[in-house]
Amino acid sequence: MDVFVARQPIFDRLKRIYAYELLFRSGMDNAFPDLDGDTATSSLLSSSFFTVGIEQISGGNKVFINFTEDLLLRGTPAMFPPGNIMVEVLEDVNPDDNVIAACEDLVAKGYDLALDDFVFTEAWRPLVKLAKIIKIDFMLMSIEEIKEIVATVKPYKCRLLAEKIETYKEFQQAKQMGFFYFQGYFFSKPEILKNKDIPSSQLSYFQLITEVAKAEFDVPSLERLINQDVSVSYKLLKYLNSAYFSRLQPISSIRQAIAFLGERGVRQFVSLIAASKLSESKPTELIRISIIRARFLEQIAIDLREDNSGDFFMLGLFSLLDAMLDNSMEYLMAQLPLTDLVKNALTKRQGNMFLFLQAIEQYEVGDWSSFDQTANAIGLDQGKVAGFYLDAVGWADSFQ
């Protein structure tokens, strides 16, 4: 079985990134992959996937990792630096004396504990005393049941994390109940589901996206639009004069930048900058996920020798445009000169290109069985997937 890992954002009360939960493909759950008796810890640690990969996928943030009872008893979390991870104790762990002792040892070594999908019983009280965070799934229980747990753990030092928060209403409700951290895709949903004019503060960036998306590439018009915004011009010139390109002669004008990058490069880079500007009032994770999707889908399209890999890039980049602008996708797509294939995938969620978007959506949430089916349908080599995703994550994090 191919090794997959994805990340889900965890936000604080200001919708800033607090950490990521890592989702591994490991059977039917998303726990850290078990090791067979012949696999030495040193061998696993030397693996580029688990050392470089996890460091890269974390983006410098703390990561939550689910550990099974067996892995806890074997001290597997101690493979990682204590400052980098949050050890999640799964809900099906039996909190007996051995597990409690193992968790006490981890805490003594500087590790933080989180209790996953928590439902209180007396047997869990010793671990509540040790835990830094208690995670409560808002889809598994009623608000009254949640309030009861909140009251029970209030005397302890742990903080509460609300899982499966899918709407802004649920986010606000959880905040009012005393939750400090939030996990779910509420941030990727529009807050106002009705058509409205694009605010004037964002209109110039939307016009910029429109210009670079046109089939006929009008260099003078594009140059004029880029020059109108100092921040866009600055980012473009800074990017091209960075160490990545190792240029002997600096690029000093927008026209030079356009000539150097070429049509496809300019379309992509300017679209990235403009999209990031459109989402400035939103959680930064919104544009980050959009960029990851864009890069991931583009790599898949190139690998499959699709003629229109640029369209796949745009498909990923604009897949959350409705949340960026709090508007319907139908209204926004009507304003942009994108291909019908891209528009159908984003508005009607159908067609060949939609399968590609569906693949990254399934990957993001760790729905591995559905991802397998979609990947097979589009002919994706699953052995390359983890590399594509890690590259996309690193590219998105460096762009930010």
SS3 383: helix
Strand duo 5-11 + 181-183: pairing: antiparallel
Q: Can you give the pLDDT at residue 45?
A: 37
- What DSSP string runs through 268-297? HHHHHHHHHHHTTTS-HHHHHHHHHHHHHH
Q: Can you give the pLDDT at residue 42?
A: 37
- What DSSP string runs through 311-339? HHHHHHHTTTHHHHHTS-HHHHHHHS---
Q: Can you give the pLDDT at residue 37?
A: 38
* Domain residue ranges of the chain, discontinuous segments joined by +: 5-188, 200-399
Residue 278, amino acid: L
State the residue for tokens 């671990």. 127
**Bigger pLDDT: 358 or 396?**
358
Is the pLDDT confidence value at 25 over 80?
no
Share above pLDDT 70 across residues of the chain, in percent, rounded to a whole number? 86
State the residue for tokens 């067609």. 351
**Tokens linked to 131:** 């835990």
Give the residue-averaged pLDDT of 242-270.
78
Residues written for the chain: 400
Helix axes 368-378, 352-364, angle to 10 degrees: 150
Asked: is 5-188 a CATH 3.20.20.450 domain? The reply is yes
Q: Within 10 Å of residue 281's Cβ, how many Cβ atoms?
A: 12
CA distance 369 to 272: 31
Cα dihedral sign, 168-173-174-180? positive
pLDDT tens per residue, range 271-308:
888 888 888 888 999 999 999 999 999 999 999 998 88
Strand duo 133-137 + 159-163: pairing: parallel
**Bigger pLDDT: 324 or 249?**
324
CATH number among 3.40.50.880, 3.40.1000.10, 1.10.3210.10, 1.20.1250.20, domain 200-399: 1.10.3210.10
CA distance 191 to 327: 8
Residue 194, amino acid: K
**Tokens linked to 226:** 């880029």
Comparing C-alpha atoms, which of 84, 69, 8, 67 is closest to residue 33? 67
**Tokens linked to 342:** 């891209």
SS3 166: coil
Rg (the chain; Cα; Å): 23
Task: Kindly indicate the confidence band of residue 194, based on its pLDDT and cuts at 50, 70 and 90.
Answer: low
**Bigger pLDDT: 217 or 291?**
291
Residue 222, amino acid: L
| 391 burial via Cβ count (<10 Å: 0-12, 13-18, 19+) | middle
**Tokens linked to 5:** 């890992």
- Judge contact between 311 and 341, C-beta under 8 A: yes
pLDDT tens per residue, range 36-60:
433 433 343 334 445 556 777 788 8
Q: Within 10 Å of residue 228's Cβ, how many Cβ atoms?
A: 12
pLDDT tens per residue, range 224-233:
777 777 777 8
pTM of the model: 0.84
| E strand or H helix that includes residue 86 | strand 85-89
**Bigger pLDDT: 227 or 185?**
185
SS3 17: strand
User: For the chain, what is the largest distance between any 2 Cα atoms, rounded to a whole number of angstroms?
Assistant: 72
Give the residue-averaged pLDDT of 124-143.
94
- Judge contact between 161 and 10, C-beta under 8 A: yes
Task: Kindly indicate the confidence band of residue 193, based on its pLDDT and cuts at 50, 70 and 90.
Answer: low
Best-predicted range by mean pLDDT (10-19, 50-59, 183-192): 10-19
Helical H segments across the chain, by residue range: 41-46, 48, 54-58, 69-73, 97-108, 125-130, 143-153, 168-176, 200-213, 219-228, 230-240, 254-278, 284-303, 309-317, 321-325, 329-335, 340-347, 352-364, 368-378, 385-399
Residue 5, amino acid: V
